[in-house]
Amino acid sequence: MFSRAVRHQLLPLSHRLAAARSFSSTASRMADFTHVAIGGGVIGLATARHLALTQTNSSTLLLERHSQIGTESSSRNSEVIHAGLYYGADSLKTKLCIRGKNLMYDFCARYHVPHSNSGKWVVAQDEEQRAALEELHRVCRDELGVPTRWLSSEEARRLEPDVRCVEGVLESTTTGIVDSHALMSALQGGFEEAGGETALNSTVVAVEPTGVSGLPGSGGWRITVKDSETGEQSIIEAETLVNCAGLGAVDVHNMIVPQERRMKMYYAKGNYFSYAASKPKVSRLIYPVTMPGAGGLGTHLTLDMAGRMRFGPDVEWVDDPTDLRVNGDRLPPALVEIKKYLPGVDETALAADYAGIRAKLGKAGAVASGKGFLDFYIKKEDGFEGWVNLLGMESPGLTSSLAIGEMVGGLIYGERNKKAEEL
């Protein structure tokens, strides 16, 4: 697929900084790199790849605090390619999800990333849920342009006899699944093949905008990085800073802004449960109707690339973003929700599987129909130059990742940015 470039660690990287400074001749741009992106999850990888591929005579460094890429939220999720049903007509989540979905299917086909356009059912069990789905069907058709179709309960039973859907089904025909690990490997390979550099074990401990005149950051950015293994610190200078640090993004944000602009991150742990029995057997994703104001989309049934069923995530609010223990106490309430749409599930075949943490800017608002809907925060930060800030990058972040990279390039370079399909 891709040749695997050397994964640069921090210490060798620091030895090369003096040589790297030679790429620019202007005093205000004597930086080590044109772009530094913080965070080696799927969004950071897609963004770094986009910048490396679209901007000639530039250099891009991706900083990742762990020993491997994508070990946090990017590899601990449902691995769903979302269609863009839930987020309203005018949100970034909708625009980037729809754009990202199309780019994702094209990218996976082009680079042989395992994926499947499996489809998804959202199932209604009573008249209130049916009315909500009929309205969602209308919004998808009339406002979003997202393909959906309505199935009666009788038609649904013929296709999936084990699924309970008393009042019918809204089918999303463009929802799918993807191997997130293979996706991130492909993104990293493309980034490094384009000349980008990945620095693993590189924890950002300080970020300082520079410049004696103009806005902070007009002279670039000074980033202090600690080697996660040795503790040695290095200073890296960049023309442009992209904060896509996922669970740590608000920490980076708070290193830079004044006290009154600091923000808080909320951490929603999602517990997942595996299923070991061969029956009941389902061939597509099954979701309950999402409750307005909820922090997630409900405990749903997803499939991996081998067709194995799993259930989750729920929403468990935690204070520690490193708390990845599956909470076994969450299985009984999850089972109650699962049995509403899969009554024949063998509860003895369910077991704790894994957990992931979603970084949120508040405790509600997973869907646009509820109060407190929380959109992606992606912007050139006010009062600074050369800083693109990405906060609250939860679902549908994986689906949107290629479109997010394209958007970040547009925020930095405007009309000089290239469309993702041109890469």
Rounded to whole angstroms, what are the CA distances from 309 to 173, 213, 353, 398?
19, 58, 11, 20
- Both 205 and 248 in one domain: the answer is yes
- Asked if residue 269 and residue 143 are part of one domain, the reply reads yes
Reduced 3-state DSSP string for 221-284: EEEEEEECCCCCEEEEEEEEEEECCHHHHHHHHHHHCCHHHCCCCEEEEEEEEEECCCCCCCCC
CATH number at residue 62: 3.50.50.60
284 and 395 in a single domain? The answer is no
219 inside domain: yes
pLDDT one-digit tens code per residue, 279-304: 999 999 999 998 765 556 789 999 99
Say whether both 271 and 317 belong to one domain.
Answer: yes
> Are residues 271 and 284 both part of a single domain?
yes
- Of residues 369 and 338, more confidence is placed in 338
Residue 68, amino acid: Q
Q: Which residue is listed with tokens 């890296």?
A: 236
Mean pLDDT estimate for the chain: 91
pLDDT of 198 higher than 70? yes
Do 271 and 151 lie in one domain? The reply is yes
Weakest mean pLDDT among 259-263, 267-271, 321-325, 366-370: 366-370
pLDDT of residue 371: 62
Q: What is the pLDDT, as a whole number, of residue 158? A: 97
Among residues 193, 206, 288, the alpha carbon closest in space to that of 3 is found at 193
pLDDT value at residue 9 = 44
Domain count, the chain: 2
Query: Does residue 83 surpass a pLDDT of 70?
Result: yes
Q: Do residues 61 and 416 make contact, with C-beta atoms less than 8 angstroms apart?
A: no
In a domain, 112, yes or no: no
Q: For residue 103, is it within any domain?
A: no
Whether the Cβ atoms of residue 172 and residue 136 lie closer than 8 Å to each other: no
Cis omega (within 30 of 0) for bond into 313: yes
Longest dimension (CA), the chain: 71
279 and 342 assigned to the same domain: yes
Domain enclosing residue 121, as ranges? 117-175+265-360
Q: What does the alpha-carbon distance between residue 357 and residue 393 come to, in Å, rounded to a whole number?
A: 11
Q: What percent of the chain has pLDDT over 70?
A: 89
Task: From 360, 388, 405, give the residue that closes a domain.
Answer: 360
In a domain, 83, yes or no: no
Tokens of 238: 């960049």
Residue 18 has pLDDT above 80, yes or no: no
* Co-location of 354 and 279 in the same domain: yes
- Per-residue confidence band for 22, with pLDDT thresholds at 50, 70 and 90: very low
What is the reported pLDDT for 217? 97
Are 48 and 21 contained in the same domain? yes
Residues 49-82 have pLDDT tens digits of 999 999 989 999 999 999 999 999 999 999 999 9
CATH of the domain at 330: 3.30.9.10
CB 162 within 8 A of CB 342: yes
pLDDT surpasses 50 at 368: yes
Asked if pLDDT for residue 331 goes beyond 90, the answer is yes
* Statement: the pTM of the whole predicted model exceeds 0.85: yes
Q: What is d(CA 412, CA 243) in angstroms, rounded to the nearest whole number?
A: 13
Least confident stretch, 27-36, 146-155, 210-219, 364-373: 364-373
Residue range 131-146, pLDDT digits in tens: 999 999 999 999 999 9
Query: Are 131 and 272 found together in one domain?
Result: yes
- Does 339 lie in the same domain as 197? no
173 vs 364, which has greater pLDDT?
A: 173
Q: Same domain, yes or no, for 163 and 272?
A: yes
Q: How far apart are CA 393 and CA 72, in angstroms?
A: 12
Tell me, yes or no, whether 68 lies in a domain: yes
> Does residue 38 carry a pLDDT above 90?
yes
Residue 28 has pLDDT above 80, yes or no: no
List the one residue out of 216, 201, 198 whose CA is nearest residue 255: 216
